[in-house]
Amino acid sequence: MLLEPLPHSPDHALPGPLLTELTALYASNRAYLALSGDLPDPDDVRPEQVAAALAEELAQPSAEVLLARSEGRLVGLAVILARHPDPADPDPWIGLLMVDAGLHGKGHGRRLASLVEDRFRAGGRTAVRLAVLDNNPGALAFWTALGYGIVDRRTDREQARPCTVLRKRLTPPADHPDEV
């Protein structure tokens, strides 16, 4: 799996074929969209809605959208924040991790999460946080299985939905014996 930053112009316009891929990715996650309410109709996901949602994510100064590709196919995306909007929060955040629903259970989510953690680790970060909607027990199970622990319960900043905040300490990569 390869991670690549979402290419975009200053006005956040996305190339048509990429927007088609992203729309299909979002549309495959109907169950999540129904839980989150992030788009008006989880059964009718439109390209302009996906483009607007990603532009809104990128409007945050420290946000980046990473595309996950496997064998050239878009299999997922991660929205990351180098800094949380709350200046008292020292950790970077995973704002969204989404994998094509047709590929759930095949390890793509674990691999994507691991690559995001590696990216933060390489930047000298020692922990990462995320929030899971309280009405999404499957996501909570996924993240706790990856070693994230509950540190807080609060409402999200945008829509005041109840969330569980999780944090994972990022241990430095192990030294490789073949490196001098």
Look up the CATH number of the domain holding residue 139: 3.40.630.30
| 78 vs 98: CA distance, rounded Å | 6
Number of folded domains that form the chain: 1
| 115 vs 99: CA distance, rounded Å | 14
Decide if 156 is inside a domain. yes
Distance of CA 63 to the CA centre of its chain: 11
Decide if 76 is inside a domain. yes
| 105 vs 111: CA distance, rounded Å | 11
Decide if 24 is inside a domain. no
- The dihedral formed by the CA atoms of 27, 29, 34 and 39, expressed in degrees to the nearest 10: -40
Residues 6+ apart with CB under 8 A from 135: 35, 161, 162
3-state secondary structure 138-178: HHHHHHHHCCCEEEEEEECCCCCCEEEEEEEECCCCCCCCC
Range of the domain at 140: 2-7+61-169
Mean pLDDT, consecutive 10-residue stretches, the chain (180 aa), reads 86 86 98 93 96 91 95 97 88 97 96 97 96 96 98 89 96 54
Residue 8 burial (CB count, 10 A): 16
pTM of structure: 0.91
pLDDT of 177 = 41
